[in-house]
Amino acid sequence: MQKNVVVLLGTGSIGQAIARRVGAGKHIVLADLKQENAERAAKILEDAGFETSTIVADLGSKESILKLIDAAQKIGTVKNLINAAGVSPSQASVQDILRVDLYGTAVLLEEFGKIIAEGGSGVVISSQSGHRLGALSEEQNEQLATSPTDELLSLPFIKAITDTLKAYQYSKRCNVLRVMYEASRWGKRGATINSISPGIIITPLANDELHGPRAEGYLKMLRLCPAGRAGTPDEVGDLAEFLMSSRGRWISGSDFLIDGGTTASYWYGDLQYLKATH
């Protein structure tokens, strides 16, 4: 019997929170760059009653993405895609950030858009960082949104990036634009695709930061943001569940900022001091 399949790329806290909400009665394919991460997530989900399998996948490799699609289709019909994978400015080089977060996400959206089932849905976890980049020109927006994936990294203004934070911000802006571009293609298959841009979400990695050498700056930022705190993976999961459910069928090609008001405050409120560091 053909199963309905949920593909989760990036098996951390946010990805798991979403998978728990949309994966009941389906088979969840857990894909991660590190096998041990995927297996750890599989143990947690299987102990909670979910059916899973694991696969090693590199978001920055088209070949790896195609292998992931092939593996998922051997199990059943791909109904849901959750992309929670990526690298951050403190983790990787400019080249790796652009290869994984910008190019890889574009390829993922394109390739899954060719096979997603009718009534299916996808979410891409982007970042509030994309909303801290100033306005791009209409031409730049169009190039990021519509350029063939194998030409994205050759765009002159992308090749000119030398700073990891800028690489990350452009990548996340590109994620949002590619979601808009791909919504038409996904729609022709009766599927929806959206992005979510979280602020600081408490995960093991974020907790390390909040107790590390840069803790004071993070805590000040959280204290001054409108919500006065960080977010949780479950709050992102709740939003994703709505977007991927029957109630979210009229929503596609959209980005949802979920950051406790941090971006609003960055531009116009108490967090404007951060502009000097960005």
Choose the catalytic residue: 26, 79, 166, 172: 172
Strand 27-32 with 121-125, pairing = unpaired
Sheet strand arrangement including 121-125: 51-56, 27-32, 3-9, 76-83, 121-125, 192-198, 255-258
DSSP designation for 212: S
Closest C-alpha to 82, from 127, 145, 17, 34: 17
Whether 218 is catalytic: no
Q: How many CB atoms lie within 10 A of CB 40?
A: 17
42's tokens: 């599989």
3-class DSSP assignment, residue 91: coil
Burial (CB count <10 Å: 0-12, 13-18, 19+), residue 133: middle
Contact 162, 93 (CB under 8 A): no
**Amino acid identity, residue 248?**
G
Whether 181 is catalytic: no
What does the alpha-carbon distance between residue 38 and residue 119 come to, in Å, rounded to a whole number?
27
**CA-CA-CA-CA torsion for 76, 77, 80, 83, nearest 10 degrees?**
60
Choose the catalytic residue: 168, 170, 181, 266: 168
Burial (CB count <10 Å: 0-12, 13-18, 19+), residue 252: buried
Q: What is the largest CA-CA distance in the chain?
A: 57
- Give the active site residues: 168, 172
